[in-house]
Amino acid sequence: MPKLIKAFRGVPKGAIYPVAYEAGQDCPPELEAGARELGALEGVEEESDEKKDLMAQLDLAQIKYDKRWGLDKLRAALAEGQKD
């Protein structure tokens, strides 16, 4: 599990109330997307570089995409576009 680089609150799977997580703690998988969006996870910079690279490849291949898409959806769009 990726580690948090700053404090973060989220509702883990099976809970009904938010839990406060401190920097240095492991982030539960179900909360990774929210923590990443807030910049609370390690390695977020690397992913944003990968996202920029994927978007550049999609632009070059003239494949339509939404800038709000995550890495998985961008990869899938690129793979699908390269099939044609």
- Does the reported pTM lie above 0.75? no
Residue 79 inside a domain? The answer is yes
Q: How many degrees, rounded to 5, is the angle at CA 43 between CA 39 and CA 46?
A: 105
Q: State the residue range of the domain holding 69.
A: 44-83
Counting the structural domains of the chain, the total is 2
Whether residues 51 and 33 share a domain: the answer is no
pLDDT per residue over 39-68, tens digit each?
A: 888 875 555 788 889 999 999 999 999 887
Q: Output the DSSP codes for 64-80.
A: ---TT--HHHHHHHHHH
Residue 1 inside a domain? The answer is no
pLDDT per residue over 15-44, tens digit each?
A: 999 999 999 999 999 999 889 888 888 875
